[in-house]
Amino acid sequence: GSLKSFKILIFFINSISIMRFSNILALSLLSSASAFAPSIARRSFSISTSLQMAELTQDELKKMVGYKAVDDYVESGMVVGLGTGSTAYFAVERLGQLLKDGTLKDIVAIPTSIRTKEQAEELEIPLVTLDTHSKLDVAIDGADEVDPQLNLVKGGGGALLREKMVEVCADKFIVIVDDSKLTDGLGPGFPIPVEITPFCHEHTLRLVGALPSCDGCKPVLRMGSSSSNVNDGDEIAVTDNGNYIVDLHFEEPIKDAVAMANEIKSTVGVVDHGLFCDMTTAVIISSADGISVKEP
């Protein structure tokens, strides 16, 4: 058991310096029996939450949760939803690795954006669409905010519609984040994106901003790149679906995320929004103290 755990850990941290590797290896071998043995059959490399990872970069922490999500929740023969963003990137990378080395077989995947599709194609991951596979076994994606009820804000990268269409069809939806994404209340920490039709978009922006559940918000039309909610251009941002995005900025926490989600979705001119409520199966969280998993 310890030998297999050792090999998995070596493979996982190949981008970490020799010094970091030595520190992590020493700690992980001491706890390998308890950390790895229960889930070796599923290729899990569960890392003890007592493992100190303060020296790891943000990308290294993202890589850990991305790899863990695939190792713990993806099995041969599954239909897998591939998320979009800097954390989901590593889950896609790990899936490609395990398919290439033969650990996983007979996998098909559904990407949630053009850039995820391009990454998956480079890794030779077999791709399908919802048109042929309306039921998914698991979907893995990041999030911009997570509240105590595991409701999410997603869509900072502009892929919220395709993400929701794919992830709502999954038997399990696994969210991968670092602990900076955890919040007591959605809203102030990250704007709520709303995808709207280009037709009379200013009208729809005003309608959404005036909704009772959105009281106090400042609706801002996203400009420049659709993959960033920071204004980085003079042209209106256009999503993969040809739509616009309005970002709702809040100074106070949203009182009722579920009610707000329903009210926005029922507004004519709105395609969908970045509130993902009652969808999460588990959240895998990285922090300086290690990896933890939170479930509803």
Average pLDDT over residues 203-230: 94
pLDDT over 50 (residue 250): yes
- Round to whole Å and give the CA distance between 67 and 43: 10
Residue tagged active-site, from 93, 145, 163, 167: 163
Say which range, 25-39, 79-93, 162-176, has the weakest mean pLDDT.
25-39
Q: Which pTM was predicted?
A: 0.82
Q: Which pLDDT band, with edges at 50, 70 and 90, does 229 fall under?
A: confident
Single-letter amino acid code for the residue at 86: S
C-alpha torsion angle, residues 221, 266, 185, 67 (rounded to 10): -80
Catalytic annotation present for 163: yes
**Cα dihedral 26→28→32→35 (10° resolution):** 160
Average pLDDT for 143-167: 97
Q: Could you read off the pLDDT of 86-125 as tens digits, one per residue?
A: 999 999 999 999 999 999 999 999 999 999 999 999 999 9
Evaluate if residue 186 carries a pLDDT over 70: yes
Choose the weakest-confidence range: 13-17, 83-87, 191-195, 254-258. 13-17
% of the chain at pLDDT higher than 70: 82
Please check the confidence at residue 28 and state whether its pLDDT lies above 80.
no
Binning pLDDT at 50, 70 and 90, where does residue 151 land? very high
Please report, for residues 26, 191, 249, the alpha-carbon distance to residue 204 in angstroms, rounded to integers and kept in the order given: 57, 17, 16
- Better-scored residue on pLDDT, 20 or 271: 271
Instruction: Kindly state the helix (H) or strand (E) to which residue 160 belongs, with its residue range.
Output: helix 160-167
What is the predicted pLDDT for the residue at 171?
Answer: 98
pLDDT at 150: 98
Chain centre distance of CA 203: 31
Region of 31 (left: φ > 0; alpha: ψ -120 to 50; beta: rest) is alpha
Q: How confident is the model at residue 195 (pLDDT cuts 50, 70, 90)?
A: very high
Residues 280-290 have pLDDT tens digits of 999 999 998 89
